[in-house]
Amino acid sequence: MLRRTFMAAGGAAASGALAQTARRPNILLILADDLGYGNLGCYGSREIQTPVLDRMATEGARFTQAYAGSTVCAPSRCCLMTGLHTGHAKIRGNGKRELALGPGDVTITGLLKGAGYRTGLFGKWSLGGLGTTGYPTQKGFDEWFGFFSQSHAHNYYPEMLLENDHEVILRGNTGTQRQDYAHDVILDRCLRFLDRRGAQPFFCKLALTIPHANNEMGRDQGNGMEVPDTAPYTMRDWPAPDKGFAAMITRMDKGIGQALEVLRASGRLDNTLVLFSSDNGPHKEGGHNPEFFDDNGPLRGIKRDLYEGGIRVPAIVRWPGRVPAGVVSDQVWAHWDLLPTLAAAAGVASPAGLDGVDMLPSWTTRGAARPRAPLYWEFHERGFQQAVRFENWKAVRTKMGQPVELYDLAADPGETRNVAASHPDQARQASQLMQTMRKDTPDWPVRAAPAG
């Protein structure tokens, strides 16, 4: 039953063998929402200020070939949490919001909680609402604070948020008031979780909604990039939504700095694996123009595309003593690798049958990139689209029945030249992988795009 409160309450403490977990690393996983490959200074942005993440990249590893689980929110988060790509994942698109993770679906959180970790989730979930088997507190989170649903998360000034199994009223947002910025409220709750000390290691997922647009505010009016103020860009001669977009990212960067400072002040930062990434590529929503800041950098495509710009994302890992500082790595990996990788970092065994693999050996060395098994994506909106990457070859099929497009990412990272005709063997291999790397499911039938 949903309960209502006007004040926040603390989450339950995790159980576990404290003596066995005391030396394991803390894990802080930070996920932006619709942040493009080119939106951080350390990835080439010339206008948007991100000093915290830029510094974090010099203190750890910055990856140039990391991939999201999907090109939209819910399936991407499903891949990250379960270690399965969209050919096998329970949730493969945004279109069926009634779907939820089931009791038998293994998650990163469930594994770490079972190993004695204190666990918290703050922000956006998308894998099961209140009362379902996929609700955060049913999937291993001791403490959960955030949005009711994926569509609810579009609003940066909601009237209420969820805390565990009850709602929290934001008094500053009742009626026509717009005082309590959801990002700030959620960040504050995360900081409290991080500041709580004890013998247990923690796993914290900070699932930000920045810089996602509020499309309900109107695409044409240009007011969908909600932010309390546009500092430090207020005086820039930029379109209002793009000014808001940049201000949101800089605000996010500042908040991440606050989280790192909480850990530094308590002496736990250097024993914390901090990972930052984005759930998919940049958007063209809320009045924002992704070309204004060159959101996708040198890549082709944006959110909802399976070209590189829709799925290749920024990724930074900081873990002193394990991940070498100042590394710029071209190691290929994807978000579904995070379950086995973070489990390995915590000394926890992963279940069999995952698509993800443990990337810790490549993250913790300065050596050359290691070969990676093929990567696969499918997308069930606008018809049925597929993509696969093997070695430096990337193939995309935008419609059922069409031949694959083939690109050599080593020579053409922007996917400008379809070389399928001149490399028929690789094109044939890509088609075969698109058949064998997936399983049909009644929840996600394969359909052609609507006519017209």
pLDDT on residue 218: 54
Unique residue bearing structure tokens 């009016």:
221
Mean pLDDT of 165-194: 96
DSSP for residue 392:
T
Say yes or no: do domains 24-363 and 382-436 share a fold: no
The strand pairing partners of 63, in sequence order, are: 315, 329
ω before 211 within 30° of 0 (cis)?
yes
Query: Residue 146 above 70 pLDDT?
Result: yes
Mean pLDDT, the chain, integer: 92
CB 217 within 8 A of CB 223: yes
| pTM over cut 0.85 | yes
250-298: per-residue pLDDT in tens?
A: 999 999 999 999 999 999 999 999 999 999 999 999 999 999 999 999 9
pLDDT band at 223 (very low <50, low <70, confident <90, very high): confident
The residue ranges of every structural domain in the chain are 24-363, 382-436
CB 424 within 8 A of CB 432: no
Q: How far lies 124's CA from each of 31, 205, 332, 450, in Å?
A: 9, 10, 26, 31
CB 405 within 8 A of CB 420: yes
381-397: per-residue pLDDT in tens?
A: 988 999 999 999 999 99
pLDDT band at 6 (very low <50, low <70, confident <90, very high): very low
pLDDT band at 21 (very low <50, low <70, confident <90, very high): very low
pLDDT on residue 451: 63
Query: Residue 104 above 70 pLDDT?
Result: yes
| DSSP calls for 231-248 | TTSTTS-S-HHHHHHHHH
Query: Residue 217 above 70 pLDDT?
Result: no
pLDDT on residue 8: 34
Contacts 24+ apart (CB under 8 A), 323-328: 323/60, 323/61, 323/273, 323/363, 323/364, 324/60, 324/61, 324/364, 324/365, 324/366, 325/58, 325/59, 325/60, 326/58, 326/59, 327/60, 327/61, 327/62, 327/366, 328/61, 328/62, 328/64
Mean pLDDT of 199-224: 84
Question: In what side-by-side order are the strands of the sheet with 385-390?
Answer: 375-379, 385-390, 393-397, 405-408
Please choose, from the candidates 112, 93, 110, 114, the residue with its C-alpha nearest in 3D space to the C-alpha of residue 102: 110
Please choose, from the candidates 163, 186, 159, 183, the residue with its C-alpha nearest in 3D space to the C-alpha of residue 173: 159
The CATH label, of 3.30.1120.10, 3.50.50.60, 3.40.640.10, 3.40.50.300, for the domain at 382-436 is 3.30.1120.10
CB 387 within 8 A of CB 426: no
- Can you read off the two tokens belonging to residue 287? 């009045």
Query: Any idea which fold 24-363 has?
Result: Alkaline Phosphatase, subunit A (3.40.720)
Please choose, from the candidates 109, 144, 146, 114, the residue with its C-alpha nearest in 3D space to the C-alpha of residue 339: 109
46-80: per-residue pLDDT in tens?
A: 999 999 999 999 999 999 999 999 999 999 999 99
Report how far apart the first and last C-alpha atoms of the chain are (Å, whole number). Answer: 45
Mean pLDDT of 240-246: 96
pLDDT on residue 222: 56
For CA atoms 218, 219, 220, 226, the dihedral sign is positive
Of all residues in the chain, the percent with pLDDT exceeding 90 is: 87
